[in-house]
């Protein structure tokens, strides 16, 4: 059984590095029977003894039943306006991935009080439940679950050779999209190979060491929209589309940091500002 300490990016990173050392980690992730329900153990690891309740009124998750590409599985999370103002954190979990905790998104004041939407792409390593869990200010945990048929996403070959991929790492594209009736919308794309530690270098035959974005911090006018702390299950070249609140300063600033300690920044402002 794989254990991931709650809210510890260091643990996620260490786990990913461990999988890169030997095939034993790969076997441990895939030896579990496909029908085994590992959620009770994961829930305890991630949330302790707190109850996590399936609640479609608090969070909605959209995911394909059968993914076209296991390394690029699209997810959409919607948090209705009635509860969005009280939601402080969103966790994405893929039960049977080697590192099940995809990412934590901690929201700030610039996330807004209207309906909150977040879209991204993830890796799915074997047929698994995918979960979106939101935590409200009173500590209550609400969940949405989808079963996704996909396999091999965490070990899928890298699209570029390592030198070229790392040379491009950190390049950002930030698009300011439509104003949705009080809530703004933006799309963030960051070049990064997001090496999982489970991918083989086709030229050398060795595993590529795990390297991934561990933090992405997004602010609008100095106020936080969200801070993401993530791991190996976020797809190559992360793509995040999100809503946020408008303000007197509409400039978006993004600061990202990877497991090598490299920091990348980008900004975007409305035309004419």
Structural domain total, the chain: 1
Other CB atoms within 10 A of residue 200 CB: 13
Triad 91, 95, 100: Cα angle to 5°: 60
Element (H, E) at 172: strand 172-180
pLDDT number for residue 7: 42
How do residues 3-21 score in pLDDT, each as one tens digit? Answer: 433 444 444 444 444 443 3
CATH of the domain at 129: 2.60.40.2470
CA distance 188 to 239: 6
pLDDT number for residue 137: 96
- Name the least confident of 17-21, 66-70, 202-206, 215-219: 17-21
Judge whether 112 lies within some domain.
Answer: yes
Kindly state the tokens that stand for 127.
């047929």
Judge whether 131 lies within some domain.
Answer: yes
pLDDT number for residue 25: 35
CA distance 100 to 236: 17
User: Using an 8 Å Cβ cutoff, are 193 and 169 in contact?
Assistant: yes
Judge whether 3 lies within some domain.
Answer: no
Is pTM beyond 0.85 here?
A: yes
Which of 260, 185, 261, 248 minimizes the C-alpha distance to 221? 248
Judge whether 4 lies within some domain.
Answer: no
Judge whether 210 lies within some domain.
Answer: yes
Give one word for 197, left, alpha or beta, with left for phi > 0 and alpha for psi -120 to 50: left
How do residues 204-216 score in pLDDT, each as one tens digit? Answer: 889 999 999 999 9
Judge whether 146 lies within some domain.
Answer: yes
Host domain of residue 123: 9-268
């Amino acid at each position: 059984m794989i254990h991931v300490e709650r809210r510890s990016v260091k643990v996620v990173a260490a786990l990913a590095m461990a999988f890169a050392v030997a095939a034993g980690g790969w076997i441990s992730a895939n030896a579990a029977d496909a029908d085994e329900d590992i959620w009770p153990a994961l829930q305890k690891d991630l949330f302790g003894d707190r109850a996590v309740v399936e609640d479609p009124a608090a969070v909605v998750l959209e995911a394909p039943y059968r993914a076209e590409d296991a390394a690029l599985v699209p997810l959409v999370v919607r948090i209705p306006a009635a509860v969005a103002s009280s939601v402080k954190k969103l966790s994405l979990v893929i039960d049977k991935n080697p590192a099940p905790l995809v990412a934590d998104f901690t929201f700030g004041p610039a996330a807004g009080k209207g309906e909150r939407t977040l879209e991204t792409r993830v890796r799915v390593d074997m047929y698994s439940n995918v979960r979106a869990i939101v935590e409200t200010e009173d500590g209550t945990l609400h969940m949405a679950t989808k079963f996704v048929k996909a396999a091999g996403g965490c070990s899928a070959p890298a699209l570029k050779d390592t030198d070229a991929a790392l040379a491009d790492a950190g390049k950002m594209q930030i698009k300011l999209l439509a104003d949705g009736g009080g809530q703004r919308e933006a799309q963030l794309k960051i070049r990064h190979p997001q090496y999982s530690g489970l991918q083989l270098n086709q030229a050398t035959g060795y595993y590529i060491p795990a390297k991934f974005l561990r933090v992405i911090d997004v602010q609008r006018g100095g106020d936080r929209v969200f801070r993401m702390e993530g791991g190996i299950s976020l797809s190559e070249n992360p793509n995040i589309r999100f809503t946020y609140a408008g303000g007197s300063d509409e400039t978006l600033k993004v600061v990202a940091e990877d497991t090598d300690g490299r920091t990348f920044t980008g900004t975007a402002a409305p035309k004419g500002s």
